Chain A
C-alpha cells in the first residue's frame, strides 16, 4: 500500500463511485449513443425526403443533448478517473498499466466523438438546408466514433468479471478479449439505444408540436427501434451473465435486494419481470402510435430503465466481490500474493503502509486499528453509515468478531481476507467491538426514547 488511503465516510466508497458511474452511464450510453443515434437517423430521414418534421425534432433536442453530454456526461466520465485515482490508486494504477493502449486509443475515439458532436451542433444551421448530406455524414461519423468508444471500454470492464486464463498467463489478449467481451458490446450499445429511444419517445409523446400523423409516424419508428433494442439487450444480458463465473453470479440477488429483501426469493425476479413488461408495453404502445398510452407509460418506463442501469451496475460491481482484478488484486487493493505472504509469515501489515493518517489525536492503538480497518475493510464498509461496520457487527461478542476476522472469505465469499498479524487482528477486533457496542447503545437509547 504505497499511497494514502482515502475512504468516504458515511456514504462509503461504493456509493460515491456508483452515483457518479450511474449518472455517467445513463448519459454516455442513453444520450451520447442512443438518443444521438436516433437524432442522426431523424435528420437523415429528412435529408432523404421523408418530411421536414424529423429534422425539427432532432434540432429541438440537439441543444439540450449537447449541453448535458458535454457538461455532466463528460465530467462524470473524467470523474470516474478522479474518483478511482483517489479511492483505489493501486487498483486503477494497475489497470492502467495493463490496459494502457485500449484506454489511449479510446481517448482518441472519445476526442473524435466530441469534435464530431460539436461540428454537428455548430454546423447544423449552416448545413441543414444547403448540405444535409454533409451534415448527416458528420452525424454518422459521430455515431461510428461513439460505437467504437463503447466497444473499446468493454474489454476493460468485462475483464474484471471474467478470470478465465488471465491470472495464470497474464497476457493482455486473455484479459481484454474475455468471454464477456462480445455480449457486453451488444449489451452496451443496445442498452444505450433503448435508453435514448425511451427519452426521445417521451419527448415526442409530450412535447411534439407537429400534426397527429407526423407524431404517429415518429412514435412508430421509436417503438420499433425500442422493441428491437430491448430484444437485443435482453439476449445480450442473458449471454453475458451466462459467461460470468457462477462463483460470482450466485450472489446477484443479495447484491441488489439487500439482506432483508433477498429473504423473499421471488421478489427480485418478479420486480424485474414487471419492469421488463412495462418497457415492452411502452414499445408496443409507441408502435401502435397511441399518444395517450405512450404518455402514461413513458414515466414508469424511464424510471424502470434507470433502475435497470442501476441494477446492472450494482450487480457488476458487487458480484466480483473480493477482487478488483481477478487472480491479482483484492478489492482492498492488497494483491493476492501479498495477502498470502503476510498470512504465511504472520507478518504485520502496518509497517508496509507508506501513509498513515495521524490527524485526530487518537491513541496509538485506535490509530492503528483505524488504519487497519481502512486498509482491510474500508473499500466496502464505512465505520458508520451506509454498510457501516458498526451496524453489521452490532450485538456480536468481541471473541466472535475476532473469529470472523479470520474467516471473512469463508463467511461471505465476496469479502476480502483480513491481512495482518495476529496482534493486529486483536487490535482491530477491539476497535470493531467498540464501534458495534456504541451502535447497539445508540439503538437501545433510540428505542427507549420512542
Chain B
C-alpha cells in the first residue's frame, strides 16, 4: 500500500474513465437544470400573461407545468453531486482555485437555491388560489433561480482562463474585454437552452392531453432555438483562438441539428413532431462534447503543472514523513485528562518541569514566569489565576479546560510544589520605620491590608492579593530588593536590609492572619 504523502496524487480512476463519467454525469445534471430553469421561466411567463388578460383564464394547466418543477429541481440538485465529485478529482487545481476566488458568490448558491426552490414551490401551490402571493413568490423565486447559472457560468468562464486568475484575484469582478463578454453570452446561452428544453419538455409532457397548448410551446421552442443560434454565433466569436478541429466538428454538428429543428418547427406546422426528440438530444450532446473538449484543453496544462509541483513537494517532504507520524503517535497517546499531563504539556514550557519558571519558552518572556515553588497560596486563588490568566503578562487563561481538569491540575501543582501550604506566622514584630515605609510607599499599590489599592489593581499586571497569596521569605525579599522585571514593582535596594526584611514579613503576614481568622 502506498504511503500517500499527498492524497491529491491518488487517482481512483484512469483519466479516460474519469472524463467519460464526467461527461455523462454533467450532461445528466445540465439536462435537468435546463428543464428546471425552463419550466420555472415559462411557467412564470404564462402566469404573467394570463394575469394581464381580463378575465384571467383558469391556471389549471400552468399549475401542472409549475408542479413538475419540484421533480425536475430535485433531480437537478442530486445529479449535480456526481459531476462536482468528478470535477474535484479530474481538475482539482482549477476547480478549487476558482471556487476559492469566487468565494462569496460561490457560497451564495446555497441561500439562493433554497430561496428559489421554496418560493417557486409556493408559486406552484398558490398559482390557482392567490394571484398576488403567487406573483411575489414567482418573481423573487425565479430571479433567485436565474442568478445561480450566472455564478456557475462565471466560475466556469474563469476556470477555463488560467491566465486571468491572478488579475481576477487582485481586482475581482470587473468589466473587461477578456472574459466578461464570454461570461454574459455564455449565461444567455444557458438561459436560451433552458427555455428551449423547458418548452420541448412541456410540449411532449404537459401538453400531451392539452393539445391547444402545443402551438404556444412550439413558438417558445422555435424562438429559443433561433435565439440560441444568434447567441451561439456571438459566443463563438469570443472563443475563436480555442477552436480546434474536433471542437468545430461538434459545434457544426450541433448547428446542423439546430437548423433541422428550426425547419421542423417553422410556423406552418403545429403538432409535436417526434423528430425533435432525436434532434434536441443531438444538439445537446454535440455542444456538450465541444464544451468539454475545450475545457480539457484549457485546464490540462495547469493541472499537469500542479501535479508536477505536488510530486516535487512529496519528494522534498519524504524524509520527514516518519518523524511526523512518530510525533502524531505520541500526541495520540497523550490524554489531557489529568493534572500531571496538563502541567507537563501546557505549563511546563514557561514554568519548567521543576516549577522554577525556567521552561524552554521562558526566555521569550519579558515578565518572568512565576517560580511556583516559592508560592504559598490559597487554592481558589490559584484556580482563578489559572482560569482567567494574568492580564499584562504572558500567562494565558486556561478556561479551555473544564473544571475537573483544572482541579486535577491544581492537585498536581499542589503535590509537586507545595503551593497551598500555610504561610508561617510572622517570626517577630515589625519596626515602626518599616511600617511607615509600607504605609507610605508600598500601600500605594498594595493597599494597607495587602489586597491591592484601586490604582494598583488598574495596573497590568496588578499586584497580588497578599491576603490570599504569599511567597517564601527569601523570594519576597528578593523581589523587594530587585523588583519584578516588566511590572510596576521596582527594586528597593536603597532601603536598609532590616526594612526590606520587615517588608517581606509584612507581605506574608496578611495571608497568615487571613487563614488564622478563617479557622
Contact = CB atoms under 8 A, between A and B. Distances in A.
B319 to A, nearest CB: 8
Contacts of A397: 365-367, 392-394, 486
B394 A97 contact: no
Contact of A76 (B88, B114, B306, B316): B114
Nearest to A72: B114
B282 interface: no
A421 interface: no
A86 B350 contact: no
A74 B107 contact: no
B97 A4 contact: yes
Interface in A291-342: 326-328, 335-341
Contact of B331 (A85, A341, A413): A413
A175 to B, nearest CB: 11
Nearest to B107: A86
A239 interface: no
A131 interface: no
Given A4-B97, A98-B7, A115-B75, A399 B402 contact: no
Contacts of B1: 169-171
Nearest to A399: B366
A358 B166 CA distance: 11
A247 B331 contact: yes
A20 to B, nearest CB: 7
Interface stretch (B42-50, B176-184, B333-341, B424-432): B333-341
A403 B74 contact: no
Nearest to B82: A107
A315 B153 CA distance: 38
A238 interface: no
A85 B99 contact: yes
A397 B487 CA distance: 11
Q: Which of A71, A263, A406, A407 has its CB near the most chain B CB atoms (within 10 A)? A: A71
A5 to B, nearest CB: 7
Q: Which of B11, B103, B399, B400 has its CB near the most chain A CB atoms (within 10 A)? A: B400
B324 interface: yes
Contact of A340 (B10, B75, B118, B320): B320
A110 B81 contact: yes
B103 A337 contact: no
B74 A358 contact: no
B480 interface: no
B514 interface: no
Nearest to A85: B99
Contacts of A257: 402
A70 B391 contact: no
A111 B334 CA distance: 43
Interface in B155-193: 169-172
Contacts of A20: 110
Given A107-B82, A264-B403, A409-B331, A167 B325 contact: yes
Nearest to A345: B320
B77 A78 contact: yes
B118 A71 contact: yes
B446 interface: no
B61 interface: no
Contacts of B323: 340, 344
Given A74-B77, A86-B106, A2 B306 contact: yes
B8 A75 contact: no
Range of interface residues on A (Cβ < 8 Å)? 35 or more
A341 B322 CA distance: 11
B361 interface: yes
Contacts of B96: 2-3, 85, 89-90, 93
A394 B96 CA distance: 35
Q: Which of A70, A76, A254, A337 has its CB near the most chain B CB atoms (within 10 A)? A: A337
Give the dominant DSSP class at A's interface: helix
Interface in A149-182: 163, 167-171
B78 A114 contact: yes
B110 A110 contact: no
Contacts of A410: 345-346, 348-349
B12 A339 contact: no
Contacts of A169: 1
Contact of B2 (A101, A168, A170, A264): A170
B320 A327 contact: no
Contacts of A100: 12-13, 85, 89
Interface string B92-110: 1101110111010011011
A81 interface: yes
Contacts of A260: 399
B399 A262 contact: yes
A232 B77 CA distance: 33
Given A6-B103, A78-B80, A259-B400, A96 B324 contact: no
A41 interface: no
Interface in A72-128: 72, 74-79, 81-83, 85-86, 89-90, 92-98, 100-101, 103-104, 107, 110-111, 113-115, 117-118, 122
Given A96-B88, A328-B7, A265 B106 contact: no
Interface of A: 2-6, 20, 66-67, 70-72, 74-79, 81-83, 85-86, 89-90, 92-98, 100-101, 103-104, 107, 110-111, 113-115, 117-118, 122, 163, 167-171, 245-247, 250-251, 253-254, 257, 259-260, 262-265, 326-328, 335-341, 344, 355, 357-359, 394-397, 399-404, 406-407, 409-413
Given A70-B73, A107-B78, A328-B4, 9 more contacts: A96-B88, A259-B400, A263-B399, A335-B6, A340-B324, A340-B327, A395-B389, A400-B394, A403-B364
Closest 6 CB pairs of A and B: A400-B394, A4-B100, A259-B399, A395-B391, A89-B96, A71-B117
30 contacts: A2-B306, A2-B310, A4-B100, A67-B121, A71-B114, A75-B114, A78-B113, A82-B110, A85-B96, A86-B100, A86-B106, A90-B96, A94-B7, A96-B85, A101-B12, A113-B78, A169-B1, A170-B1, A247-B332, A250-B336, A250-B337, A253-B402, A254-B400, A263-B387, A263-B406, A327-B325, A335-B317, A400-B393, A406-B349, A413-B345
